[in-house]
Amino acid sequence: MVRYFLFCFCACAGLSLNAQVFSSLDELADQEKQAWIRSLQHAQNRDFQNSADNRSDIHYCRLHWTVDPAVRYIAGEVMTVFEPTESVTSLDFDFSEALSMDSVVYHGQKLLFLRSGNILTVQFQSALPAFLPDSLTFYYQGIPTSTGFGSFEVNNHDGTPILWTLSEPYGAMEWWPCKQALNDKIDSVDVFVTHPVGYRAASNGILRSEIQSGNQLTAHWKHRFPIPAYLIAIAVTNYSVFSVPAVFENDTTHIVNYVYPEKLADAQVGIGENVEVMLLFNQLFGQYPFHSEKYGHAQFGWGGGMEHQTMSFVGNFGYELLAHELAHQWFGDMITCGSWEDIWLNEGFATYLTGLCFNYLRPQYWNIFKADRISKSTAQPDGSVWVDDTTSVARVFNSRLSYAKGAMLLHMLRWKMGDDAFYQAIRNYLNDPTLVLGYARTKDLKAHLEAVYGQNLDAFFADWFYGQGYPSYDIKWSKTPDNQVKIIMGQTPSHPSVSFFEMPVAVKLKNDLQDTLIVVDHTFSGQEFSFQLGFTPTELVFDPDLWLVSRNNLVQEVLATGEPLPEVSIDILPNPAHQQFIVRLKTTDNLELRLSLWAADGKLVHTEQVSVMPGMNELPVTVGALPAGRYAVRLENQLWQVERPILLH
């Protein structure tokens, strides 16, 4: 993991901006996975869903940290306003055993507390009543643990120290006492960071002040939106700061950026391109949720990114990386997955939204994006988007399933429902007052999709969310001389958990001059479809616009009887020709054929019967004086037909 990450980071640093349009999906996923692996080592087998107890609702935290980027050390004062949801005599908080708790102060008095591993239990002198807001303050210090890319890291850029945090999902407790479970957002926070002068501190929300006292500077960041512990972060170094306006419907969101001075030019280009992405997401999904405060980026010592609320931390300024982290502000931050089983509500959406940037803003990359995610999703025959084992870090942040297949699940919903219904349902989900600024499960999204679509999506989710694998299509198609086309569509699922993937399927029928797109509702393997075309197709293209997750598809033209086409190869010599030419035809069969010549206006100008034998046949054709121009030579029998162009002069 480490070597892979370092390789990516160095490689990205050396690439041109153009080459940074795409961030490797593995890179994004693996980097997000790092946080899990590290934090798992501290999780001490506690339930992944839950850590500190749920008997209180956290309303507010006033977080004051004193740090120096040159030193791995933190001193903290955390005032927490909480409301017991039942009468309690004690409360548990997540807090790393590596840190020292100096005191816990309640109404001016020190409380007793117990430490057990990474749980800190505060003991009140008498029972606190339910539903009465109260507060306590923690005073602590120490050297935060770090086992890799850190919940709390100090390192260097260009010789200058930098300190940064990345808590997802269990790292917050490594540097402050908190509640890490995915069921209670802190309603608002104030963050104070005191650090030596010469540095600047980036964090969530709005910068209210930077006040110098001696050789120390204290930055005050204020954030008035609900936030889970893992999305609170700080970064401190000798940042250059600049702001870019994103104007949407007469409202300006400031994109405030804390970047390394030596990367300022790169940052200005990359973040400049992020404005169009924010405007696109605003149009598709409603205005950026924290526009009354700000959006921003803080550069940190990682190749990837982390979607800290209102202030994404990024290692570079690649187009896709910045789009991914911005997308998380709607999907992951404003609405957070309520269980790690549903991580695709964060990562599938963020991945798909980067695709939508290509779809609408940079269409030259759209098919590449889809083909890559389809290929990734189907790289193995098994695996569901639903996380069946949340104790497995690798499984939760699996780039194939939670990122690529999660994104394509959304793409297939869009295909099935149509753009209008799909986007309306997603907007309804984002506006649901029971979900906004809180947590959601997959069933919550599904209910919104069904309400707009007007149909039950149980089967779809059974196949594509809970089910594993993907379909392989086997398509046999035939045409008659009067252009009746028949398709027999077979399907084999890659995994026994799904017996059949019911999906609308698009095929394109085409020849050199025209084409038509046909969509069929595929409900069972071996299903037949017939239709009349106004032209003679020479080719069938399966799923030409890449709507489906599928692999190993077979498309075969057959005779109307279902038998294989005769194997023939045809050349016309010379071409262009004058009055006569030779049709050179190689086949493995005995065939009686009609050979005809057709003018560009569709008029038959010559016809004759020919017999061919297995092997190479040379058929001389004399057509006499015809107007110069483009013609078609057609060879056909009752079941089969082929055309070749010829120019006469």
Closest CA to 212 of 228, 194, 191: 194
The secondary structure of the chain in percent helix, strand, coil, rounded to multiples of 5, reads: 25, 40, 35
CB of 263 to Zn ion, least distance (A): 22
Q: Which is nearer to Zn ion, 345 or 632 (CB)?
A: 345
Omega of the bond prior to 576 within 30 degrees of 0, cis?
Answer: yes
CA–CA dist 198, 172 (Å, integer):
26
- Using CB atoms, what's the residue nearest to Zn ion? 350
CB of 433 to Zn ion, least distance (A): 25
Torsion of CA 430, 432, 437, 443, to 10 degrees: -80
Q: Which is nearer to Zn ion, 350 or 633 (CB)?
A: 350
Partners of 154 in the β-ladder: 163
Burial of 589 (0-12, 13-18, 19+ CB in 10 A): exposed
Q: Which is nearer to Zn ion, 172 or 322 (CB)?
A: 322
CA–CA dist 316, 503 (Å, integer):
39
Omega of the bond prior to 620 within 30 degrees of 0, cis?
Answer: no
CA–CA dist 183, 440 (Å, integer):
10
Q: Which of residues 175-194 bind Zn ion (CB under 5 A)?
A: none
CB of 377 to Zn ion, least distance (A): 17
Residue 357 makes contact with Zn ion by CB under 5 A? no
Q: Which of residues 224-263 bind Zn ion (CB under 5 A)?
A: none
CB of 144 to Zn ion, least distance (A): 24
Closest CA to 467 of 391, 382, 551: 382
Q: Which of residues 383-402 bind Zn ion (CB under 5 A)?
A: none
CB of 535 to Zn ion, least distance (A): 46
Closest CA to 48 of 332, 339, 336, 348: 339
- Taking CB under 5 A as the binding criterion, the range among 55-63, 140-148, 339-347, 548-556 that sits at the site for Zn ion is 339-347
Q: Which is nearer to Zn ion, 311 or 621 (CB)?
A: 311
What tokens does 431 get?
A: 């506006």
Binding pattern to Zn ion, positions 45-84, x when CB under 5 A?
----------------------------------------
Confirm if 179 and 95 have CB atoms less than 8 A apart: no
The single-letter DSSP state of residue 117 is T
- Taking CB under 5 A as the binding criterion, the range among 117-125, 195-203, 344-352, 622-630 that sits at the site for Zn ion is 344-352
CB of 31 to Zn ion, least distance (A): 9
- Taking CB under 5 A as the binding criterion, the range among 294-302, 348-356, 369-377, 552-560 that sits at the site for Zn ion is 348-356
Give the residue carrying structure tokens 């509500």: 345
CB of 262 to Zn ion, least distance (A): 26
Cα angle value 188/207/197 (rounded, 5°): 125
- Taking CB under 5 A as the binding criterion, the range among 341-349, 371-379, 525-533, 549-557 that sits at the site for Zn ion is 341-349
Q: Which is nearer to Zn ion, 5 or 65 (CB)?
A: 5
Taking CB under 5 A as the criterion, the residue among 104, 255, 298, 350 binding Zn ion is 350
- Taking CB under 5 A as the binding criterion, the range among 99-107, 340-348, 513-521, 549-557 that sits at the site for Zn ion is 340-348
CB of 343 to Zn ion, least distance (A): 9
Q: Which is nearer to Zn ion, 325 or 444 (CB)?
A: 325
CB of 403 to Zn ion, least distance (A): 7
- Taking CB under 5 A as the binding criterion, the range among 8-16, 239-247, 346-354, 588-596 that sits at the site for Zn ion is 346-354
Cα angle value 100/102/103 (rounded, 5°): 135
Applying CB under 5 A, the site for Zn ion has a residue count of 2
CB of 176 to Zn ion, least distance (A): 23
- φ, ψ (nearest 5 deg) of residue 6: -65, -40
What tokens does 47 get?
A: 């339930």
CB of 616 to Zn ion, least distance (A): 60
Mapped onto helix, strand or coil, the DSSP state of residue 14 is helix
The single-letter DSSP state of residue 281 is H
CA–CA dist 560, 568 (Å, integer):
17
Q: Which is nearer to Zn ion, 104 or 409 (CB)?
A: 409
- Taking CB under 5 A as the binding criterion, the range among 39-47, 342-350, 428-436, 446-454 that sits at the site for Zn ion is 342-350
* Distant-in-sequence, close-in-space partners of 159: CB < 8 Å, separation ≥ 6: none
- Taking CB under 5 A as the binding criterion, the range among 38-46, 273-281, 343-351, 493-501 that sits at the site for Zn ion is 343-351
Q: Which is nearer to Zn ion, 12 or 632 (CB)?
A: 12
Mapped onto helix, strand or coil, the DSSP state of residue 73 is strand
CB of 396 to Zn ion, least distance (A): 12
**Under the rule (CB under 5 A), what is the footprint of Zn ion?**
347, 350
